Amino acid sequence: MSRADTDPSQTGLRMHRLIAELLPIPRSITGDGLRQTLARLRPLLPDLRIHEVPSGTQVFDWIVPDEWNLRDAWIKGPDGRTVVALRDSSLHVLNYSLPIRRTLPLSELRPHLHTLPDRPGWIPYRTSYYEPAWGFCLAHERLADLPEGDYEVCIDSTLAPGSLTYGELFIPGRQPDEVLISCHICHPALANDNLSGVALVTELARHLAGQGTRQLSYRFLLVPGTIGAIAWLARNPSAWSRIRHGLVVACVGDPGPFHYKRTRQGNADIDRAVIAALRHRPEGLVIRDFDPFGFDERQYNSPGINLMVGRLTRTPDGEYPEYHTSADNLALVRPEALAGSLSAYIDVFDALEANRRYLNLQPRCEPQLGRRGLYHSLGGAPSSSELKRAMLWLLNLSDGTHDLLAIALRSDLSPRLLDTAARLLVEHGLLAAVDPP
């Protein structure tokens, strides 16, 4: 990759620009908006495969719904002026609204209008995927201004047999063991939830693919929330056993601290890798136990599937005021926060790849590091005392039972530093890797 590809400020700007470009596409859990979004990613991710699952397909306890497409929508007031228009924001239409063309008094229209009285300037995001309904979402202050009278409403949508679209990208490594990275891709004009996740996944896949072959294989899923993850799992049972680690990506563009939600199992390698790799990052790291709410970690951690998939966000869903409103916009997501999130994800996967057990080949008392030149390996660099600490921890705990993540957690040293120290000790014949590289 060129320098511009790895410069954090350039990376953050590139992610922010991608979010800006994808924002106006009217997305839902099915339909052409999803296809357009994936088509836009294709030039960035040439190996992205796009799958279509026909409406009516049974996927575990669910059925893939009819495909929804939205061409236009508006409300005209008693004076004939347009008061709400899809062209201003795709949030204006209740997602999955049935088609309607009717003139009705404001009193009958009101039950179909969704607003946020507490945040009168913001448009809410509302959906009705599995209950037939129609409606509009608008700023409460706009509703308050509407005069009584007859309103003409139009939702030019179709709900008909078609298919559900999702994207999948596989980057093979030396090992068949896979890391699953999943993001939802179904929200319309919302930047942090969920386009920040789409931008991070895109940039991360480019980074990993551009690095040459890695140890682990990586599988990226860009799926409509809930039904997309369920459909992928139902269609790919043979892949489950290869997935050893995973992360659900969303809400990674705000400047809040990282929040990590553990796997259902609670102490999987991915749980340990996130904590070991991120706990000293300047953004801060809050650890939460698993619960069966939130994003698609619910599906991956269901008891009959039980994959080791955690979730790494900045401020979690529902915990920032702009969540699921028109204020989740390009001002909320910041290039520097996006770049920081990307580098955190890379730190986690580097830690997973570095994780293995070693055996101390000179376990009786400390080996004499000075004689081997190991006290001066970094030529007096500021971190050389840290490197020495890392070597002593590795030598002490490398009894064949502790892996590198266990040593990182116990010593409070970073997996990256321990990996560097382990390589030096292996070079000098003091450590041997127990697990295959």
**Closest distance of CB 345 from Zn ion, Å:** 20
Which positions from 139 to 178 touch Zn ion by CB under 5 A, shown as an x/- string? ----------------------------------------
**Closest distance of CB 126 from Zn ion, Å:** 11
- The Cα–Cα gap between 410 and 386 comes to 15
- The Cα–Cα gap between 351 and 96 comes to 42
**Between 193 and 353, CB nearer to Zn ion:** 193
**Closest distance of CB 295 from Zn ion, Å:** 8
- The Cα–Cα gap between 253 and 277 comes to 19
- Work out whether strand 113-114 and strand 136-137 pair parallel, antiparallel, or are unpaired: parallel
Question: 352 near 270, Cβ under 8 Å?
Answer: yes
Token pair 């997996």 is found at 415
Q: 402: which 2 tokens?
A: 């502790």
**Between 74 and 125, CB nearer to Zn ion:** 125
Residue whose CB is nearest to Zn ion in the complex, by number? 193
**Phi, psi angle pair for 267, to nearest 5°:** -140, 40
- Side chain identity, residue 179: V
Q: What is the largest CA-CA distance in the chain?
A: 91
**Phi, psi angle pair for 3, to nearest 5°:** -60, -40
**Between 49 and 288, CB nearer to Zn ion:** 288
Quickly count helices (H) and strands (E) in the chain.
14, 19
Give the number of other Cβ atoms within 10 Å of residue 425's Cβ: 25
| DSSP tag of 91 | G
- Taking CA atoms, 153 is separated from 27, 75, 77, 143, 435, in Å, by 21, 5, 9, 15, 65
Helices (H), 23-175: 32-41, 106-109, 140-144
**Between 260 and 295, CB nearer to Zn ion:** 295
**Closest distance of CB 193 from Zn ion, Å:** 4
Which positions from 175 to 204 touch Zn ion by CB under 5 A, shown as an x/- string? ------------------x-----------
**Between 162 and 224, CB nearer to Zn ion:** 224
**Between 31 and 188, CB nearer to Zn ion:** 188
| Residue count, binding to Zn ion (CB under 5 A) | 1
**Between 167 and 316, CB nearer to Zn ion:** 316
**Between 184 and 402, CB nearer to Zn ion:** 184
Question: 59 near 227, Cβ under 8 Å?
Answer: yes
Q: Is 328 in the site for Zn ion (CB under 5 A)?
A: no
Q: 103: which 2 tokens?
A: 């003139």
Question: 19 near 31, Cβ under 8 Å?
Answer: no
Q: 389: which 2 tokens?
A: 């600490």
**Between 11 and 315, CB nearer to Zn ion:** 315
Q: List residues near Zn ion by CB under 5 A.
A: 193
